[in-house]
Amino acid sequence: MSKKKDNLLNNRGLTPEDYYINEQGLLVFTAHYHLKRGYCCGNRCKHCPYDYKNTKS
């Protein structure tokens, strides 16, 4: 990852435990990040530890 992107993510309070970059170059939040945030956002995140509580079926 570029130093500029790294600084941007760190300035937003993200740590390396909070995300990874997948094969397509997309930022993916980890379960660690979701637990730190404290709630399900309803976006059906790949690593949601809240069992997609706020998503519409």
Per cent of the chain over pLDDT 70 is 81
Q: What percent of the chain has pLDDT over 90?
A: 46
What is the pLDDT of the chain when averaged over all its residues? 86
Residue 55, pLDDT > 80, answer no
pLDDT at 6: 66
Other beta carbons less than 10 A from residue 47's beta carbon: 14
- Given a contact cutoff of 8 angstroms between Cβ atoms, the answer to whether 52 and 44 are in contact is yes
- Whether residue 18 contacts residue 33, with contact meaning beta carbons closer than 8 Å, is answered with yes
| pLDDT tens figures, 13-34 | 888 899 999 999 899 999 999 9
The kind and range of the H/E element at 3 are: helix 3-11
* 3-state SS track over 4-39: HHHHHHHHCCCCHHHEEECCCCCEEECHHHHHHHCC
